[in-house]
Amino acid sequence: MRASLLMVALFLILGVGACHHSRPASSSVGARNFATLSFATKPDFATQIKPIFQSRCMPCHFQGGKVYDKMPFDKPETITRLGEKLFTRIKDKEEQRLIREFLSQP
């Protein structure tokens, strides 16, 4: 009897696993989970936000630049303080979205 229960349990575990792995990668469930995950994580300053400003505002707002002392863009506090005023220079919609998400962090 125990052997039969063990066989059934093993069959169910392997059967469910096989069904899960045979689902196409583009299924709506997988896509929905991925989308939820990507919006759940907040942008990281060092790896996602700072590079935007390095590509658009270098050298003036970075170490050695002429306005670095007043507005250092390598510091998250400056970006938080200036907020969406930065969009006068940052026009790319995806970059603006990332910055908005960063600004919305507590």
Q: What is the pLDDT of residue 78?
A: 98
Q: Where are the domains of the chain?
A: 45-103
pTM: 0.61
Q: What is the pLDDT of residue 106?
A: 83
The pLDDT-based confidence of 42 (bands split at 50, 70, 90) is confident
The 3-class SS string of 30-90 reads HHHHHHHHHHHCCCCHHHHHHHHHHHHHCCCCCCCCCCCCCCCCCCHHHHHHHHHHHHHCC
Say if residue 77's pLDDT is above 90: yes
